[in-house]
Amino acid sequence: KDLAVAHLPSQTGIVLMNHGCPHEAKGFTSGIDESQKLYEAVRERLIYRYPLISVGWLNHDTPLIDWTQPNATLAARNLMDLGATALVFMPIGFATENHETLLDVEHIISKLRRKRPDVTYVQMPCVNDHPEFLQMAGRWADAQIADLLSEEAMAVNPQLAAMQAQESHGHHHHHHGDHHHHH
């Protein structure tokens, strides 16, 4: 709210932060397309009021891996070069806070502030436990699970359930282990 007093919407840069993705993901889809679609949808809702908008990928700092660009730091610099006097870091690609949205963004802002103390920096929270998000997530999960169960056999077979549990226990880590990265 203080931003509105000191900065025009046309001077307010918005960095819409997505989870960074490597371009080469060893045969897995990397999530770049999905994240890009999310950015475009949010940008579309904001662009007419706030023309200075950029995606800012929160990448991991790993050598020899080609990550999504621009990263959040470069996005912020680009927006400042275009005349932004305030920067809002909005974590759209994260449902809840984690070390990236908290510590990495704080670190990015402190580095930028050293070079450009004349700019106002605002770090927005993730959606976290916002009631609308919780309702939407609950409806989404319920629908997904209902669809999954309707595809299963109409009669429940406890022996089959035990067999499935046994099978999934043996295979779980192989299918999903490489897809998620642990910190």
Q: Position of tokens 């299918």? A: 175
**Domain locations along the chain:** 2-123, 131-176
* pLDDT tens digits along 24-46: 767 676 789 999 999 999 999 99
| pLDDT score for 150 | 84
Whether 7 and 86 have beta carbons less than 8 Å apart is answered as yes
Q: What is the mean pLDDT of each run of 10 residues along the chain (183 residues)?
A: 80 97 77 94 97 96 88 98 98 96 96 97 96 96 91 67 78 45 43
* pLDDT tens digits along 125-142: 999 999 999 999 999 999
What pTM was computed for the model?
0.80
Whether 108 and 101 have beta carbons less than 8 Å apart is answered as no
Q: If DSSP codes are grouped into helix, strand and coil, which group holds residue 88?
A: strand
| pLDDT score for 124 | 97
Q: If DSSP codes are grouped into helix, strand and coil, which group holds residue 140?
A: helix
CATH assignment, 2-123: 3.40.50.1400
Listed in sequence order, the residues at least 6 apart from 50 whose beta carbon sits closer than 8 Å to its beta carbon are 9, 10, 12, 13, 14
